Structure 1
Amino acid sequence: MAYIIKNSQGEVVAASSVENPNTPENQGANWTFVEDTSKEYLDFLERSLAKSDPFRESDIHLARVLEDLITLMVERNMIRFTDFPPAAQKRLNDRQSLRKKTQLSSLLDDNGHIA
């Protein structure tokens, strides 16, 4: 559950988990309820995180490089997947599954047909 404030151009300028947070800059503002999965809400959070942490985008790209490096090393028998601790194996499997699902979903249109 989330609440947002929009400016006169309809852009989200603030978000909160409570309807009327007691902050001086937002007093008297009209908070609007949105689902946690609302695109405008998620876009606002993404922009806010990108502004607050300059390393975030770099970390995301570096994580992808590391995943690809691990996959390459396993495929070339330089390391074994089982050499990783169980928690790392689970994370790597989860990421690989998520990437495959994302790749497959981008190939399908809204009716489930290949686009």
Structure 2
Amino acid sequence: MAYVLKNPKGQIIAASATEQPNNQWIQIDVTDKDYINFLEHALAEGDAFRESDIQLARVLEDVITLLVERNIIRFTDLPEQAQKRLNQRQSMRHQSQLSGILDENSELF
């Protein structure tokens, strides 16, 4: 069972797996068509935000790299956790580029 909150038009506007303390929430079967449609729409909308976040993260990496290369900031000026994350991402990107050089069918010689 799931719990949903509906607007005055009867459309689901929120869902929860647990009972809510508000009497406006109603219990609904997880196989309900409107409930499934609501979840599918919410997931699709969330994917767009995740994709945008991924793209923005790459932009920020590039901006930080540019600022460091132009000696506007020093890499060591960044908080230790930021340095660690940027180094990890740079290492992951480098490994990804190396793995793309040869595919399984390529020969070294």
On whether the aligned pair clears a TM of 0.5, the verdict is yes
Number of residue pairs the alignment of both structures matches: 70
Do the aligned residues in 2 keep the contact of 1:73 with 1:79 (CA within 8 Å)?
yes
SS in 2 for 1:65: helix
Quote how far apart the aligned CAs of 1:73 are: 0.6
Identity %: 60
- Which segments of 5 or more consecutive residues in structure 1 lack a partner in the other structure? 1-22, 26-47
Quote how far apart the aligned CAs of 1:70 are: 0.3
Quote how far apart the aligned CAs of 1:100 are: 0.5
| Cα displacement string for residues 16-66 of structure 1 (whole angstroms, at most 9, x for unaligned residues) | xxxxxxx853xxxxxxxxxxxxxxxxxxxxxx9961413111111010000
Tell me how far apart the structure 2 counterparts of residues 49 and 102 of structure 1 sit (CA, whole Å): 31
Pick the aligned partner of 1:102 from 88, 96, 100.
96
Tell me how far apart the structure 1 counterparts of residues 107 and 42 of structure 2 sit (CA, whole Å): 35
- Which segments of 5 or more consecutive residues in structure 2 lack a partner in the other structure? 1-28, 32-40
Say if 1:93 and 1:50 are closer, same or farther in 2 by CA, change over 3 A.
farther
Do the aligned residues in 2 keep the contact of 1:82 with 1:89 (CA within 8 Å)?
yes
The answer as to 2:87 corresponding to 1:93 is: yes
TM-score by length of 1: 0.53
- Greater than 4 Å deviation, 4+ residue runs: 111-114
User: What is the letter of the counterpart of residue 75 of structure 1?
Assistant: E
Say if 1:95 and 1:113 are closer, same or farther in 2 by CA, change over 3 A.
farther
Quote how far apart the aligned CAs of 1:102 are: 0.6
| Cα displacement string for residues 57-110 of structure 1 (whole angstroms, at most 9, x for unaligned residues) | 111101000000100110110000000111110000000000001111111111
Q: Cα RMSD (Å) of the superposition?
A: 2.5
